[in-house]
Amino acid sequence: MLTSILAASDLSSRSKPAVQRAVQLAEEAGAKLCVLHVVEDDLLETRMRDEMRSAEEALTKQLDGFGLSRGDEVVIATGHAFHVIGETAREHSADLIVMGAHRRQFLRDVFVGTTIERVTRTAGLPVLMANSKAGERWRKVFIATDMSETSGHAARIAKSIGLLDGAEVTFVHAYAPITRQMMTYAGIPVERVQEEAEREFESTRREVAHFIQSLEMDGLTYHARIIEGIGAEAIAGLVGQAKPDLLVIGTRGLSGVKRLFLGSVAQELMSSLEIDVLAVPPPV
């Protein structure tokens, strides 16, 4: 279960749902809550002190407005936001970082380099991107899986910190029926193509079922859904139709120069979806 939560706020309208969600999760779990605002350290000292004092007053007032009276911590720090957020989360032994959605832009790839993208790929902790306006419990949760250890770990973490409690959980797997595409291109009769497609689907269904069972998520009631398509586009399409409240995804464990990117699927989904998204890094 959750024992410590860090909510990062830049005092914008995008951050308000994140703070509200963090308050809701902390109250339900009885977890400690730290709300953090980072002031860039390139300001004049007098201006920086004013910014810090104003931010503390604003966050304290916001928490009071959410009815929080447990005396949880408000921290105002200076430095580069993504670095300070990660360090503060580790100092507080946070189980979860909650942040607001990135700025919506016309070009999806501007997501790379935003604070939430940097925190997600460097902090080494689950990051909840809060988009929803109301801090209600999630009723419908999708878990994206490609049957990798990364996606399995994401599912286990979501369950272990209590984010799946009381929700209708669906594992979603997207696949491209390669055999059917190849046979159609080769001019194979439609009936034969359909037979092979059904066999391929059934094989995928068994693999997905075996994978989910191997996660040993005792006590979890869930469904599984296999959709035709490739990666983020297929998952985003289903999310648009089914409208879950939360999507759980795993991110790649990369090193060196490759850490510049989350991985195309996670990056695409976090930059385009309007629902809450939990991004979980692979185990250390």
Over residues 38-83, the pLDDT tens digits come to 998 776 778 888 989 999 999 988 888 886 556 578 999 999 899 9
* 167-180 average pLDDT score: 83
Confidence (pTM) = 0.87
**Average pLDDT, integer, range 147-176:** 94
- Select from 3.40.140.10, 3.30.750.24, 3.40.50.620, 3.60.70.12 the CATH code of 1-132: 3.40.50.620
- Separation of CA 277 from chain center: 3
Task: Compute the distance between CA of residue 274 and CA of residue 127 in angstroms, rounded to an integer.
Answer: 16
Give tens-digit pLDDT for 26-46.
Answer: 999 999 999 999 998 776 778
Whether residue 71 contacts residue 34, with contact meaning beta carbons closer than 8 Å, is answered with no
166 by Cβ neighbours in 10 Å (0-12 / 13-18 / 19+) ranks as: exposed
Q: In angstroms, rounded to a whole number, what is the distance separating the alpha carbons of residues 55 and 213?
A: 47
CA 89 to chain centre: 16
Helix (H) or strand (E) holding 39: strand 32-39
Q: Which of 90, 132, 133, 92 is nearest to 247 (CA)?
A: 132
Structure tokens belonging to residue 179: 């055999």
Is the model's pLDDT at 106 over the cut of 50?
no
Q: What is the pLDDT confidence band of residue 256, given thresholds at 50, 70 and 90? A: very low
- Structural contact between residues 138 and 169, judged by C-beta atoms closer than 8 angstroms: no
State the pairing for strand pair 276-280/168-175: unpaired
Q: State the Cα–Cα distance between residues 180 and 163, nearest whole angstrom.
A: 38
Count CA within 13 A, CB hemisphere, residue 187.
0
Query: What average pLDDT score do residues 113-131 get?
Result: 88
Mean pLDDT score of the chain, rounded to an integer?
A: 85
Query: Residue 273: which of 244, 230, 231 has the closest Cα?
Result: 244
pLDDT of amino acid 284: 73
Encoding tokens for residue 276? 């809450």
Euclidean distance between CA atoms 58 and 21, whole angstroms: 17
How far from each other are the two terminal CA atoms of the chain, in whole angstroms? 19
Per-residue model confidence as pLDDT tens digits over 88-103: 999 999 999 999 986 5
Residues of the chain with CATH 3.40.50.620: 1-132, 137-284
Is it the case that residue 268 has pLDDT exceeding 90?
no
Residue 56 tokens, joined:
């503390």
> What are the residues facing 128 on neighbouring strands?
98, 278
75-105: burial string, b at 16+ Cβ within 10 Å, e else: bbbeeebbebbbebbeebebbbbbbbbbeee
In whole angstroms, what is the distance from residue 130 CA to residue 273 CA?
11
**Angle at which helices 81-91 and 115-122 cross, to 10°:** 40
Q: What is the pLDDT of residue 183?
A: 53
Is a pLDDT exceeding 50 seen at residue 206?
Answer: yes
Q: Select the highest-mean-pLDDT range: 135-139, 232-236, 255-259.
A: 232-236
CA 173 to chain centre: 17
Q: CATH for 137-284?
A: 3.40.50.620
Count CB atoms within 10 A of the CB of residue 268: 19
